[in-house]
């Protein structure tokens, strides 16, 4: 964990960098508050999803509605992670069962079959007559190092499952398929390692690294209305236009509360069905008629000759937060260890779990970043994985977005 200093758009907050054992990096906002009587300070973390200030953030979430397993997730507060508080013991101590999640911080006892981790995020230290509070970050993935090796049948991490799905549909330029050979990050503890090395029938190896697009502030609150209104369009096969890639982009927060979102979604669906064949290559703005509020969407269209057509729905990145900064932080964290891995081919998978950017816009951002990352000349491709409906509909879409823009795509059903 390192302190990056103050941010221009949140001048009262410090920016800290939290790195997990797999090398992934995320930036969080920390606010310092005074204790009563000005006898010291305590820290509050800003949840990246709901923007509320919390004493703890969690890096895991329940693996399903009817299971006690846990899946690795982005750092978020207990409410956004969907976790429940359990009260144990006579003193009613607040705790979180490890089988559901683990806290970002706090002291940890020796692991037991069902260990408990306190969600406290600080400890006090007496210094110069004053109590000062210091955050302690504990990544649950580090607990594996202190425990015995995982039992057979332990659920795979989310990034591992996503790479496995990718390998089911990926083919190289020669039409060869690949299968998993090893997961270096599970055995390498001395230096950063990539997620996967795969191999084809000829023995050619493919190095794969995964990264996740950071959520924007307020994303969690915007997800439900956005998906309710525009989810019916996303990748809809009956709405595509042959030989065209259509990116339909919606401003964040454009769908107000207090409406029947399904009715709004039906009106949007009818509108797009009427105008889709009139769309021409290029960029254009469209105001959707027949609604009780103003809703203007941005459409970017490009030709893909010989394709059945692609329709992707995304969101316009908030103007006060540059996506190029988010992308470059991810590239800086992932590319060095990817190209350092001996392999014939190198591929980066960028997961977009929130439909925060269109395909063409994402490809442009990668082209703009290339002069600053010489490692990009040593990787074969960058793929974008769309996972907003992975958990609900068991479907993931993969798009080749770099180099040379959007060229290939495939859909995988996660049975």
Cα separation, 270 vs 267, whole angstroms: 5
- Provide mean pLDDT across the span 396-414: 90
Cα separation, 95 vs 85, whole angstroms: 7
- Provide mean pLDDT across the span 213-227: 75
Higher pLDDT, 23 or 18: 18
Are the CB atoms for 120 and 101 separated by under 8 Å?
Answer: no
* 80: exposed, middle or buried (Cβ count in 10 Å: 0-12, 13-18, 19+): buried
The percent of residues above 90 in pLDDT, for the chain, comes to 32
- The DSSP H or E segment spanning 324 is helix 323-339
pLDDT tops 60 at residue 74: yes
Higher pLDDT, 107 or 326: 326
**Number of residues assigned to the chain:** 415
pLDDT digits (tens, 9 = 90+) for 105-132: 333 333 333 333 333 333 333 333 333 3
The phi-psi region of residue 210 (left if phi > 0; otherwise alpha if psi is between -120 and 50; otherwise beta) is beta
Model confidence at 8, pLDDT cuts 50, 70, 90, reads very low
pLDDT digits (tens, 9 = 90+) for 128-172: 333 333 333 333 333 333 333 333 444 568 889 999 999 999 999
Q: What is the pTM of this model?
A: 0.58
- Provide mean pLDDT across the span 205-230: 82
Are the CB atoms for 100 and 85 separated by under 8 Å?
Answer: no
Can you give the pLDDT at residue 108?
36
pLDDT digits (tens, 9 = 90+) for 232-267: 887 678 899 999 989 898 988 888 888 888 889 999
Can you give the pLDDT at residue 63?
61
Domain locations in the chain? 2-146, 158-215+320-413, 219-316
Model confidence at 210, pLDDT cuts 50, 70, 90, reads very high
Higher pLDDT, 385 or 109: 385
∠ CA 1-387-393, rounded to 5°? 135
User: Is the peptide bond between 403 and the residue preceding it cis, with omega within 30 degrees of 0?
Assistant: yes
Q: What are phi and psi of 179, to 5 degrees?
A: -130, 155
pLDDT tops 90 at residue 177: yes
Can you give the pLDDT at residue 135?
38
């Amino acid at each position: 964990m390192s302190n990056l200093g103050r941010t221009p758009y949140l001048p009262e907050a410090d920016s800290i960098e939290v790195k997990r054992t797999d090398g992934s990096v995320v930036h969080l906002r920390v606010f310092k508050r005074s204790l009563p009587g000005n006898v010291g300070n305590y820290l509050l973390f800003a949840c990246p999803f709901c923007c509320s200030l919390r004493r703890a953030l969690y890096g895991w979430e329940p693996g399903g509605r009817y299971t006690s397993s846990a899946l690795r997730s982005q750092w978020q507060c207990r409410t956004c992670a969907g976790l429940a508080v359990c009260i144990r013991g006579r003193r009613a101590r607040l705790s979180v069962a490890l089988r559901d999640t683990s806290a970002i911080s706090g002291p940890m006892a020796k692991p037991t079959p069902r260990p408990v981790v306190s969600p406290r995020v600080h400890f006090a230290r007496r210094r110069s007559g004053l109590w000062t509070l210091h955050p302690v970050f504990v990544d649950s993935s580090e607990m594996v190092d202190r425990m015995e090796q995982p039992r057979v049948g332990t659920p795979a991490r989310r990034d591992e499952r996503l790479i496995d799905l990718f390998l089911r549909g990926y083919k190289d330029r020669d039409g060869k398929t690949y299968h998993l050979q090893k997961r270096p990050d599970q055995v390498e503890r001395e230096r950063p390692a990539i997620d996967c090395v795969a191999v084809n029938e000829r023995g050619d190896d493919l190095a794969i690294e995964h990264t996740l697009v950071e959520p924007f502030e307020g994303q969690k609150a915007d997800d439900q209305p956005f998906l309710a209104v525009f989810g019916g369009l996303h990748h809809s096969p009956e709405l595509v236009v042959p030989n065209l890639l259509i990116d339909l982009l919606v401003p964040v927060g454009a769908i107000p509360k207090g409406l029947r979102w399904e009715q709004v979604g039906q009106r949007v669906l009818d509108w797009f069905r009427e105008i889709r064949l009139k769309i021409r290559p290029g960029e254009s703005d469209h105001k959707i008629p027949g609604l009780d509020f103003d809703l203007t969407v941005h459409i970017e269209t490009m030709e893909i000759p010989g394709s059945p057509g692609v329709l992707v729905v995304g969101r316009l990145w908030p103007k006060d937060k540059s996506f190029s900064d988010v992308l470059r932080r991810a590239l800086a964290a992932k590319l060095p260890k990817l190209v350092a891995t001996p392999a014939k081919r190198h591929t980066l998978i960028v997961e977009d779990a929130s439909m925060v950017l269109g395909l063409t816009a994402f490809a442009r951002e990668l082209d703009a970043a290339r002069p600053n990352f010489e490692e990009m000349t040593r990787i074969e491709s960058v793929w974008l994985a769309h996972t907003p409906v992975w958990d609900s509909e068991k479907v993931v879409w993969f798009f080749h977005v770099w180099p040379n823009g959007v060229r290939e795509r495939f859909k995988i059903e996660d049975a």
